[in-house]
Amino acid sequence: MSGLAWLGYVIEWMGAIAVVMIAGTSPLFKSIRRIDFRFPRRESTFALSVFALCYLIAFQYFGNPVFQFMLDFSKILPGGELAQRTLLAMISLILFLLATFLRGQPLKSIGWGKANFKPGLTLGILLVIIAIVLRGKVNTLLQGITAEQGSLLLVCLLLALAEETIFRGYIQLRLSSFLGSTWGWLATAALYLLWVLPGRLWVLPFAELWPTLVISLAQALLLGWIMRKSGHVVSNVLFRAVAAWLLLI
């Protein structure tokens, strides 16, 4: 990866941090409701158990010929590997949603509560705007997007929706309730770093793998911090989806 590409990521992350800090001074963000669980240890155990199951599925998904039909099915979406990981994320999201609804838990327990939706949406829109400006894509978007670019945006949105609901919604909220806000945030980032390994570990040379790991860790820490500030997954979904999409157009 070139130095210019790294600079683009760093500038984008710094811009996002600045937006969150400035927005955090607004009265809108003073009323954010925090989620705590009555039995945080048990909830964390459930979260880690479902993650372990999804992680096992992920390695089989990319490495076992039995699952080749799923990789072939992902080709209905554009983006190649991006589409493959989107399908895996959507399958994993189904398992986490089952773990939520079968236990009678509300949407707020996975970061989609009504109380924090307005500040989360507001912050998400602000982050989208700063990403577009810092990536220099204003003129590109004003000229319009092609059908292929629109399809790629849909894939990015689906991937962000699934993974952010899983990690920043389901897992981080539970680990933060059990371990504390800081350690829960860091532990979730570590789990996300593990999540990017299937399909890449033992496949890519280290020279290609380490930039992905560094970027994934930095993004996981940033997105987890944004979740702590907004209290709603929608801010993460919008920012992550658009930021990823801008790199593809």
Render each residue's pLDDT in the chain as its tens digit; 249 residues. Answer: 677 788 889 999 999 999 999 998 888 888 888 888 999 999 999 999 999 999 999 999 998 999 899 999 898 888 899 999 999 999 999 999 999 999 999 999 999 999 999 999 999 999 999 999 999 999 999 998 899 999 999 999 999 999 999 999 999 999 999 999 999 999 999 999 999 999 888 777 887 888 999 999 999 999 999 999 999 999 999 999 999 999 998
Q: DSSP alpha helices (H): ranges in 64-146? A: 68-73, 81-101, 117-134, 138-142
The DSSP code for 114 is: S
Q: State the Cα–Cα distance between residues 111 and 176, nearest whole angstrom.
A: 13
Query: Is the Cβ–Cβ distance between 92 and 162 less than 8 Å?
Result: yes
CA-to-CA dists, residue 26 to 14, 52, 114, 127, 158, angstroms? 19, 39, 19, 15, 30
Q: Indicate the burial class of 140 (C-beta count within 10 angstroms; 0-12, 13-18, 19 or more).
A: middle
Predicted TM-score (pTM) of the model is 0.94
Q: DSSP alpha helices (H): ranges in the chain? A: 3-23, 40-63, 68-73, 81-101, 117-134, 138-142, 147-164, 172-179, 181-195, 206-230, 233-246
Tokens of 165: 């609901």
Query: Is the Cβ–Cβ distance between 42 and 48 less than 8 Å?
Result: no
Per-residue pLDDT at 1: 67
Q: Indicate the burial class of 15 (C-beta count within 10 angstroms; 0-12, 13-18, 19 or more).
A: middle
